[in-house]
Amino acid sequence: MVSIVVSVVGTNALGFTLLDFPASVQVASGSYSKWDLDSTVPNLLSLSYSIDPTSFQSVSGAMAGIDSAFVSWAATTPGLTLTPAGYDPVFNTDANLVGTTGFEGPAGVGLGANVDVFMVPSAYTANFLGEHFEFNNPTVLASAFVHTFGNGEINTVDLYLNDSFTWATNGSNFDIETVVVHEIGHGLGLDHPDQAAANGAENYSPYTYDPGHPVSGVETLNSLYTGVNRALTDDEIGGILFMYIDEGTVTKGDLTLDGLVTSNDLQPFINTFFNQSAPLNLTEGRADFNDDDLITFNPDLQGFLNALGGGGGGSQPFAVVAPEPGSLVCLLIGGLFLASRPRRNS
Ligand SMILES: [Zn+2]
Rounded distance from Cα 221 to ligand 1 centre (Å) = 6
- What pLDDT is recorded for position 82? 94
Using CA atoms, how far apart are residues 50 and 46, in angstroms rounded to an integer? 14
Buried b / exposed e over 249-263, threshold 16 CB at 10 Å, is ebbbbbbbbbbbbee
Choose the weakest-confidence range: 90-94, 97-101, 133-137, 277-281: 97-101
Q: Out of 76-85, 93-102, 132-141, 229-238, pick the least confident.
A: 93-102
64-100 tens-digit pLDDT: 999 999 999 999 898 899 999 877 655 544 443 333 4
How far, in Å, CA of 42 to CA of 245, rounded? 8
Position 50 pLDDT exceeds 50: yes
For the beta carbon of residue 52, count every other beta carbon within 10 angstroms. 22
Q: Amino acid identity of 110?
A: G
Report CA-CA distances (Å) from 25 to 28, 32, 201. 5, 10, 10
Q: pTM here? A: 0.81
Distance (angstroms) between ligand 1 centre and the Cα of 253 equals 33
Q: Using the mean position of ligand 1's atoms as its centre, give its distance from the Cα of residue 133 in Å.
A: 15
Of all residues in the chain, the percent with pLDDT exceeding 90 is: 30
Enumerate the domain spans of the chain. 15-245, 263-342
How many Å lie between the centroid of ligand 1 and the Cα of residue 162?
A: 13
- What is the per-residue DSSP string for 216-249? -S-STT-SS--S------HHHHHHHIIIIISTTS
Q: How far apart are CA 244 and CA 89, in angstroms?
A: 31
Condensed to tens digits (0 to 9), the pLDDT of residues 169-181 reads 998 889 999 999 9
For the cut 70, the answer to whether the pLDDT of residue 254 exceeds it is yes
Residue 203 Cα to ligand 1 middle (Å): 15
Residues sharing a CB contact under 8 Å with residue 60, sequence separation 6 or more, in sequence order:
169
Ligand 1 mean position, distance from CA 21 (Å) = 12
Q: How confident is the model at residue 192 (pLDDT cuts 50, 70, 90)?
A: very high
CA of 54 to the centre of ligand 1 (A): 24
Q: For helices 266-274 and 302-309, what crossing angle results, to 10°?
A: 170
- In tens, the pLDDT along 321-342 reads 333 343 333 333 333 333 344 4
Q: What is the pLDDT of residue 322?
A: 36
Q: Which of these ranges, 101-115, 120-134, 219-233, 281-295, has the smallest mean pLDDT?
A: 101-115
Can you say whether the dihedral through the CA atoms of 89, 93, 96, 101 is positive or negative?
negative
Q: For residue 317, what pLDDT band results from cuts at 50, 70 and 90?
A: very low
- Poorest-pLDDT segment among 12-21, 187-196, 324-333: 324-333
Cis peptide before 299 (omega within 30 of 0): yes
Q: Find the 184 Cα to ligand 1 centroid distance in Å.
A: 9
Q: Ligand 1: distance of its center to the CA of 16 in Å?
A: 13
With H, G, I as helix, E, B as strand and everything else as coil, classify residue 153.
Answer: strand
Q: For the domain bounded by 15-245, which CATH number is listed?
A: 3.40.390.10
Question: For 291, which DSSP code?
Answer: -
Cα distance between residue 188 and residue 201, in whole Å: 18
Cα 277 to middle of ligand 1, angstroms? 35
Nearest Cα neighbor of 14 from 179, 136, 141, 194 is: 194
Tell me, rounded to whole angstroms, the distance of Cα 186 from its chain centroid: 10
- The crossing angle, in degrees rounded to 10, of helices 62-76 and 176-188 is 50
Please give the pLDDT value at position 288: 87
Most confident of the following: 11-25, 103-117, 129-143? 11-25
Residues 6+ apart with CB under 8 A from 219: 14, 193, 194, 233, 235, 236
Q: What's the CA dihedral at 275, 278, 281, 282 to 10 degrees?
A: -10
**How many Å lie between the centroid of ligand 1 and the Cα of residue 259?**
28
Contact between 35 and 47 under an 8 Å Cβ cutoff? The reply is yes
Torsion of CA 297, 303, 309, 314, to 10 degrees: 90
Of all residues in the chain, the percent with pLDDT exceeding 70 is 71
Asked if 219 and 233 touch (Cβ cutoff 8 Å), the reply is yes
Determine the 3-state secondary structure of 18 from DSSP.
Answer: strand
Contact by Cβ (8 Å): 199, 9: no
Ligand 1 center from residue 215 Cα (angstroms): 15
CA of 220 to the centre of ligand 1 (A): 9
CB 280 within 8 A of CB 272: no
The strand pairing partners of 120, in sequence order, are: 162
Query: Residue 168 gets which letter from DSSP?
Result: B
Q: 187 CA distance to ligand 1 centroid (A)?
A: 10
Mean pLDDT over each residue of the chain, to the nearest integer: 76
